Amino acid sequence: MAYADPMSRVPFFMFQDREHGADAEASKEKGYEVPKMVTFILITPHGHKGDPLEFFADEFITRKDGDARKGLYDPAWVSEFKAGLAAWREGKVLPRNGTPLLTWERILKSRRDQLAQRFPTVEDLAAVPDSSLGDIGMDGRVLRDMARGDIKAKTDLSPVVKELADANETIRRQQEQLAALTSRLDALEASEDAPRRGRPRKEAETA
């Protein structure tokens, strides 16, 4: 089941562990340089073309968490990044499309782990027909309807989230323009004041 508005879903992301720099503590202990393993997040923003963008996972998620608290980023996406990173470090692989069920915090972790084996994404769970609710379990209808409700709520809120993000971006640009203008005015005033401070008074010139 796809989102009514594809822009409302979390961008595609995945994680990779790669060597980056040296592990100072391990190198000191071993007596030779030991590579440091770092987790990267590869993310493809909506509308981005080309290879995914790469960031240090922990730093990226911390930064976006701060942006979300300021209303500059979707907090639901940050939650999915966090849950995805935790799942990755537990050795679990997230699906490439849709909202990973492993990151769906509406149900207990043990239940998510169980369901994700058959329904990798929230969209998969929401798409289960009435005739197959038994495949989910005794709580099948409740979970299926909950998944559908979450998808609908995210779709309904997407215009509001986009409008807020656009407004915050406009404010940010205006603040940058104001700061630049203030800086230019300060520099102009300083250049105009400099000759006056160095010019002798007329009384001193005629004395």
Q: Which candidate, 105, 101, 94, 104, places its Cα nearest to that of 42?
A: 94
Give residue 67's pLDDT. Answer: 93
Instruction: Give whole-number Cα distances, 20 to 17, 52, 71, 86, in Å.
Output: 9, 18, 32, 20
Residue 4 has pLDDT above 50, yes or no: no
Burial 73-83 (b: 16+ CB within 10 A, else e): bbebbbbbbbb
Q: How confident is the model at residue 196 (pLDDT cuts 50, 70, 90)?
A: low
The proportion of the chain whose per-residue pLDDT surpasses 90, expressed as a percent, equals 14
**What's the CA dihedral at 82, 44, 122, 109 to 10 degrees?**
-20
Find the length of the chain: 207
Residue range 118-155, pLDDT digits in tens = 787 888 888 888 888 888 888 889 999 998 888 887 76
Residue range 43-90, pLDDT digits in tens = 878 777 777 789 999 999 999 999 999 999 999 899 889 988 888 888
How far from each other are the two terminal CA atoms of the chain, in whole angstroms?
Answer: 92
User: Between residues 59 and 181, which one has the greater pLDDT?
Assistant: 59
Q: How far apart are CA 102 and CA 83, in angstroms?
A: 7
> The tokens of 23 are what?
């592990």
Q: How far apart are CA 114 and CA 23, in angstroms?
A: 36
